Amino acid sequence: MDEPAGWRPAALNNGWTYCDRVRAGEQSFRLSDVLANRYRHSSSATWQQRLARGEITLNGLACPDDVEVKTGDWIRWQRPPWVEAAVPDQWEVIHDDGDLLVVNKPSGLPVMPGGGFLSHTLTSLLERRSRSVGEALVPKPIHRLGRFTSGLQVCARRPETRAALSKQFQPEGDCRKTYLALTQRLERLQQGQTLVIQTDVVERQHPLLGWIWGPEPTTPEPLRKRLSAHSSVKLRERRETGDLVEVLIRTGRPHQIRIHLAQQGCPLLGDPLYQSDQGLSASATPGDGGYQLHAWRLEGLDWPPTKLLSLHAQPPKLLRDQLGAGC
């Protein structure tokens, strides 16, 4: 089926080589078991099939057999080309001064490679467009919005600009990022009230991916890492279909807004992964969509150093239709 205008159709990429090194504690394991433990999307049996097809090398040598490995061994998997899903490939330019580029990223477009995407990403598309017009410097993202989060995505062409601005996105920076979201009913707030959330984002076990970031669990379970996080949630409007909230974040932790709202028992409407009881769906991953989250305003961005930028990105039509004229 043909994709609508503004979409890049599903297409075969050129494949990719993944490089890994055996860590302490993995020695004497079978090669297939090491890979299956790291990449939960494939079983040991599937990795054995890839070994037999000659896709995997060990220390630069062909390795068709499922041998034992030792600490420090290099593993390379030459993944054959695969079909990447269709993605939107058109966006609105919010600001472009020849170095700093800010776009209104559409929902559904990954920013960087990962989760089955390699060339169907904003990073790759920006490079193609720059090369096509003969630009010497390619805009590259300074931060990363989730695939299904729309809105303000900041990029820069010069490495020194990316380094300087990335510091402003850190918790100690003065940059203020406000998102719009539709959530399940947030009982703790009345219209106009604000709730400050400072619970940690923690790394939890997940059957499909091994470990993912999520809310603090309600019952004891293994945790690997935790990161401090800060969000301020303001109830803009209460609707029959859900609450419209503004979320101001001082930190940019992985999936922070989705996790913090789920921690409060009001996950984003349509979020397939994060649940109202702080649980995680066993059949969904962080890259799955269905929710409405939009990077709406960016204030206090110090660029150039003598000027503060305040930027605004109009929400996508689907979100505007649900929100009415208030945004």
Q: Please compute the mean of the pLDDT values over residues 58-69 and round it to a whole number.
A: 93
Residues 106, 293: Cα–Cα separation, whole Å: 11
The arithmetic mean of pLDDT across residues 272-296, rounded, is 94
- Residue 20, domain CATH: 3.10.290.10
Whether 233 maps to a domain, the answer reads yes
Say whether both 162 and 254 belong to one domain.
no
More confident residue, 262 or 320: 262
pLDDT of residue 323: 63
Sequence-ordered list of residues with C-beta below 8 angstroms from that of 97, at least 6 positions apart, any chain: none
> Is the residue at 189 inside a domain?
yes
136 and 184 in a single domain? The answer is no
State whether 149 and 111 are in the same domain: yes
DSSP string, 118-150: SSSSHHHHHHHHHHHTT-SS--EESS---TTEE
Structural domain contains residue 322 = yes
279 and 318: one domain? Answer: no
Do 268 and 198 share a structural domain?
A: yes
Instruction: Please give the single-letter amino acid code of residue 13.
Output: N
pTM equals: 0.89
- 5 located within any domain: no
Question: For residue 219, is it within any domain?
Answer: yes
Burial zone of 262 (CB within 10 Å; 0-12 exposed, 13-18 middle, 19+ buried): buried
What is the pLDDT confidence band of residue 326, given thresholds at 50, 70 and 90? low
Q: Which residues constitute the domain of residue 184?
A: 179-291
Cβ atoms of 243 and 235 closer than 8 Å:
yes
Q: Are residues 112 and 60 part of one domain?
A: no
Chain segment 91-130, per-residue pLDDT in tens = 999 999 999 999 999 999 999 998 889 999 999 999 999 9
| Claim to verify: residue 302 and residue 164 sit in the same structural domain | yes
Cα–Cα distances (Å) from 36 to 32, 41, 43, 47, in that order, read 6, 8, 5, 7
> Domains in the chain: how many in total?
3
Residue 15 lies in a domain: yes
146: which residues sit within 8 A by CB, 6+ positions away?
255, 258, 286, 287, 293
Measured distance CA(208)–CA(185) in Å, rounded: 29
Per-residue pLDDT at 1: 47
- Tens-digit pLDDT profile for residues 297-312: 999 888 887 788 899 9
Q: What 3-state DSSP class applies to 260? A: helix
| 119 within some domain | yes
Looking at residues 191-210, what average pLDDT do you find? Answer: 93
How far is Cα 266 from Cα 316, in angstroms, rounded to an integer? Answer: 22
- Ramachandran region of residue 151, left (φ > 0), alpha (ψ -120 to 50) or beta? left
Same domain, 120 and 147: yes
- 284 and 186 share a domain? yes
Q: What is the rounded distance in angstroms from the CA atom of residue 55 to the CA atom of residue 76? A: 8
Same domain, 195 and 163: no
Question: Both 102 and 131 in a single domain?
Answer: yes
Residues paired with residue 238 on neighbouring β-strands, in sequence order: 243
**Final residue belonging to a domain, choices 38, 66, 81:** 81
pLDDT of residue 327: 58
Domain CATH number, residue 129:
3.30.70
Share of the chain above pLDDT 90, in %: 75
Mean pLDDT over the full length of the chain: 91
Beta bridge pairs of residue 155: 101, 141
pLDDT band at 180 (very low <50, low <70, confident <90, very high): very high
Q: Which of 35, 57, 81 is the last residue of a domain?
A: 81
Q: Verify that 75 and 108 share a domain, yes or no.
A: no
- Is 287 within the bounds of a domain? yes
